[in-house]
Chains A and B, each alone.
Chain A
Amino acid sequence: MTNLFVIFLSAVIVNNYVLVNFLGICPFVGVSKKIGPALSMGMATTFVMTLTSAVSWLINKYILEGLNLQFLQTVSFILVIASLVQLVEMFVKKISKPLYDALGIFLPLITTNCAILGVALFLVMKEYNFIESIVFGFSAGVGFTLAIVVMAGIREELELADVPEYFKGAPITMIVAGCLALAFMGFSGLI
C-alpha cells in the first residue's frame, strides 16, 4: 500500500509529467487558456492514460514478452492508444451526451499526446506490476491535470497583465511554465 502511495505522490508532484518530464507540452500550451476546457482535457487524458497503462501492460507481458517481440513495443503501443481513443470516443458518445460534448473535441487530440505513449513506455522501463501500472497511469493523469489547470488559472490572470508585444502568447506561457517548474523543483526532496 505504501508503495502505491509513493508511486502516486511521485507521479503527481515530484516527477510531474509536464513540468519535470516534459511530456504533453503541446496540449499544455494549446489548451491552457481557460480553466474549464483545461479541466476537461485533463480528465479525458487521465481516463485514457489509466486505460492505456492497463492494456499496454497486458500486451507487453503476455504478447510481446511471451513471443520475444519487445522491439515491436513502440508500434504496438501507439496502435493500442489510437484504437483505445477511438473506442472511448464511441463509448462516451453512446452513453452520455453531456460528457461527450465536454470531452469530445479533446479525445482525437489525445492520440498524439506524447504523455500517453510516455506512460506506456515508462511503466515497461520501471518494471511495474499490473496494479502499480494502473496506479501509475492514473496518477500521471492527475499530475497532468494539476499542471494544466494551474497553468490555465495563471493565464486567465495574465490576460490582464501588460506583456511586451513580442512576448504575447507562447513566449510568456513558456516563461510562466519555467517559473512553475522552478516551484515544482521544491518538491524534489520529498521522496
Chain B
Amino acid sequence: MAKKTTLSREFLKGLWDENPVLRMLLGLCPTLAVTTSAVYGFSMGLAVIFTLVMSSTIISLARNIIPKEVRIPTFIIVIATFVTITDKTLAAYFPDISKALGPFVPLIVVNCIILGRQEAFASKNSVGRAIIDALGMSIGFTITLTILGSVRELFGVGTIFAVQIMPDSFEPLMVMVLQPGAFLTLGLMIGIGNWLNARRTK
C-alpha cells in the first residue's frame, strides 16, 4: 500500500500529518528535557536525524536477512551502535552541548520514534524510501523541538538562539525554563496543533 504514495508525500508526512511529537506523541522524554533553549532542542534534533537515518538505512538493507523472531533485539543493537557513535562524537567535538544534553544522548536508544520507524517502515520498504521517511520524521522532530525550545527560551530568558528578542523591560518568567514550563508549553503546542488540524480538514 505504501508503494503508491509519492516520495514527496513520504517526506512531508513526517513534518505534519504524522509529526512524531505533536500528532503521534512519541519521543516525549527528550522533547521535554532538553528544550530549555533553542540551541539544545536543535542539537538534539540533529543527533536524532543522524541516528534515525543511519539505522533506517542499515535495517532497510538488511530487512530480508533479519529473522522475524529476533527483529526487535536486532533493531535495538543497530540503533544503540549509532547512538554510541553520536554520543562519543558529541563528547569529543562539542563538549558543552554534550554536557547539557547529559544522559539524553544515550537515551536516544529507547526513543520510541526510532524503534517505531524501524518496525513500521524501514523493515518493510526499500532503502530509498526508508531514508526519505527517516529524514521526514526526524526533521519534523527537529522543527518541533526547535520551536518548543525557542518559545521556552523566549519567555524564560528573553532570547532565541541566544539573540536578545525581548525589550530590556521584559521580566523573564523563570518557570518556562524549569520543568513545569516544559509540560505547559508542550501541552499548549499539542492543543494548538489539534486546533490547526481541525481547521485544515474542515
Contacts and interface: CB of A to CB of B under 8 A. Distances in A.
Contact of B187 (A19, A111, A125, A174): A174
Contacts of B33: 21-23
A58 interface: no
Interface residues of A, number: 43
A174 B88 contact: no
A40 interface: no
B66 interface: no
Contacts, number: 116
Given A20-B179, A113-B110, A167-B191, A178 B184 contact: yes
Contacts of A74: 80, 83-84, 87, 106, 109
Task: Identify whether the interface residues of A are mostly helix, strand, loop, or mixed.
Answer: helix
Given A29-B28, A171-B188, A174-B186, A75 B84 contact: yes
A31 to B, nearest CB: 13
B128 interface: no
Interface stretch (A93-101, A114-122, A134-142): A114-122
Interface residues on B, range: 35 or more
Contacts of A125: 103
Given A78-B109, A78-B110, A185 B180 contact: yes
5 contacts: A21-B33, A112-B110, A172-B191, A175-B187, A184-B179
Given A82-B72, A116-B110, A177-B183, 11 more contacts: A21-B33, A23-B33, A25-B28, A71-B84, A72-B84, A114-B29, A114-B111, A174-B183, A174-B186, A174-B190, A178-B181
Interface of B: 25-26, 28-30, 32-33, 72-73, 76-77, 80-81, 83-84, 87-88, 103, 106-107, 109-112, 115, 175, 178-184, 186-188, 190-192, 194-195, 198
